[in-house]
Amino acid sequence: MEKILHTTNGVEFTLSHAFLEFSYLLAAVLFIWGLKLLSHPETARKGNFWAAAGMVLAMITTLFLHEDGNGDRIRLMNVVIIIVTIVFGSIIGLVISKKVKMTAMPELVSFFNATGGAASALVGLLEFGNPANESLLVTLLGLIIGSVAFSGSMIAYGKLSGKIGSLHAGILKYVNFVLMFTVVGITAYILLLPDPQSIPMLVYILFGIALLYGITFVMPIGGADMPVVISLLNSLTGIAAAMAGFIYHNLAMILGGILVGAAGSILTVLMTKAMNRSLMNVIIGGFGGGSGAVSEEGGTVKEVSLSDAAVLLAYSQKIVVVPGYGLAVAQAQHVTHEFEKVLEAKGVQVKFGIHPVAGRMPGHMNVLLAEADVSYDKLVEMEEINKEMNSTDVVIVIGANDVVNPAANETPGSPIYGMPVINAVEAKNVIVMKRGMGKGYAGIENPLFFKDNTRMLFGNAKDSLQKLVNEINTL
């Protein structure tokens, strides 16, 4: 018989229980320390390691020390099943992560996030009819939020991987309002019932409507706005995990979920500000799906040869590189770093202008360039790099479109009007690297391409950069 340390409100606390609670506190410290290290590319890997170590600690102690209300431990057979499942899932995750390309990282994040939402939703479904469950409201909230995170993340995965297109039907805004009010109404009705478990079908209806809302709110969202949606869905998964933690009185789940939910929520707010959008527009699904009138400037684009571009770059004093999703598609991050080093050897100052929503997920460009060992202090945020545009000799736009589109400042009818962008148009010279004259992910024309100070360098970004490196080396 294990020694009882003390008794509170009829609950006996043993040494095992004390050790379990301490392990949760230590896991929370490791989560926070991991998040702190994730704030800088040089320490991000260590941050992932320490946060993962905290989760492993919490899982091990829960498996072997957790007790139910009767003081019973998890049965050995259940422990074996759980461990086998964890090992099987870990192997799958390891294989997927090893094979995935950096260009597919956004959809991988969405897919993994969907699994977290699904787990939380299933917890809500399983615990709804459990007589020992003391918190019906928390159970329903976990079910709803987890369901929305799951279906929304799966749609985001499909859109990012090109398997699902956008649906810009204006009626979806009203459908989303109806679905939201229906979810709230059913939830309130269940809470007011004297015996909610007597009508189990209601919770399945709620589950289905929440899944449908996750689909309808993500479907109309434009591709250029997807980073904000991914951030929002990540925060929802964290909140749902915290709800599951409350159901099971598991402090590690509660703290981990709160940290993910809080970090994701803060990032979502920052991203919406960067896009000059309303968070409510994200929630109702009217975000980025507009198709306002755009005055297309048109005109004639001017191309630049590799030799002319190399001369212009080699004899410049200050160059700003603006990366976009095209850089990721071409897997040109390493040759971009080589391009940077060659220019610096010529005495040219090189910086990277990073738009907060460039790419397909928050920090996408930072991740790519950090992978190529580009120094973090050369990655300059949009607000700061815009202050230097007037003194910049050349801006190199690599695969970016919407984040340098001057229509955001000049064309009131544009869908992106008012969105903060990198003001590449203010530089003395602009070289745009693109495969062709196709529109960006937002599907609108970019007047920058027709400006007098802009030259186009068509071709695969990786090949073009390598040729530029060779040309500059011969000067």
Tell me 315's DSSP state.
Answer: T
Range with the poorest average pLDDT among 209-218, 288-297, 391-400? 288-297
CA distance 403 to 356: 9
Q: Of the spans 59-68, 192-201, 233-242, 299-308, which averages the highest pLDDT?
A: 233-242
Contacts 24+ apart (CB under 8 A), 186-192: 187/140, 187/144, 190/136, 190/140, 191/136, 191/137, 191/140
> Does 335 have pLDDT greater than 70?
yes
**Cα dihedral across residues 349, 354, 360, 366: positive or negative:** positive
User: What is the rounded average pLDDT of the residues 447-470?
Assistant: 91
CA distance 217 to 287: 9
> 354, 304, 334, 322: which is closest to 465 by C-alpha?
334
| pLDDT of amino acid 237 | 94
Q: Of the spans 66-70, 223-227, 331-335, which averages the highest pLDDT?
A: 331-335
> 401, 404, 421, 220: which is closest to 325 by C-alpha?
401
Range with the poorest average pLDDT among 28-42, 144-158, 213-227? 213-227
> Which one from 373, 402, 452, 463 is the annotated catalytic residue?
402
| pLDDT of amino acid 166 | 65
Q: Whose structure tokens read 């397909």? A: 360
> Does 299 have pLDDT greater than 80?
no
User: What is the rounded average pLDDT of the residues 305-325?
Assistant: 93
Indicate where the chain has its CATH 3.40.50.1220 domain(s).
306-474
Confidence band for 331, pLDDT divided at 50, 70 and 90: confident
Q: Whose structure tokens read 């928390």? A: 138
Specify the length of the chain in residues.
Answer: 475
| pLDDT of amino acid 295 | 41
Estimate to the nearest angstrom the gap between the alpha carbon of 457 and the chain centroid.
Answer: 31
Q: Whose structure tokens read 């269940």? A: 190
> Does 291 have pLDDT greater than 50?
no
- What is the pairing mode between strands 429-434 and 394-398? parallel
Tell me 67's DSSP state.
Answer: B
| pLDDT of amino acid 5 | 53
> 385, 382, 308: which is closest to 351 by C-alpha?
385
Range with the poorest average pLDDT among 15-19, 92-96, 305-309? 15-19
Q: If you write DSSP's letter for every residue of 202-238 in order, what string do you get?
A: HHHHHHHHHHHHHHHHHTT--GGGHHHHHHHHHHHHH
User: What is the rounded average pLDDT of the residues 70-88?
Assistant: 80
Confidence band for 388, pLDDT divided at 50, 70 and 90: very high
Q: Which helix (H) or strand (E) holds 416?
A: none
CA angle 91, 249, 50 (to 5 degrees): 45
pLDDT 10s digits, 45-71: 899 999 999 999 998 988 888 766 555
* Mean predicted lDDT score pLDDT of the chain: 84
pLDDT 10s digits, 103-114: 677 888 899 999
| pLDDT of amino acid 290 | 42
Range with the poorest average pLDDT among 129-138, 144-153, 364-373? 129-138
Confidence band for 403, pLDDT divided at 50, 70 and 90: confident
The architecture in CATH of the region 306-474 reads: 3-Layer(aba) Sandwich (3.40)
pLDDT 10s digits, 170-207: 777 788 889 999 999 999 999 888 887 777 889 999 99
* Proportion of the chain above pLDDT 70, given as a percent: 86
Residue 402 annotated to the active site: yes
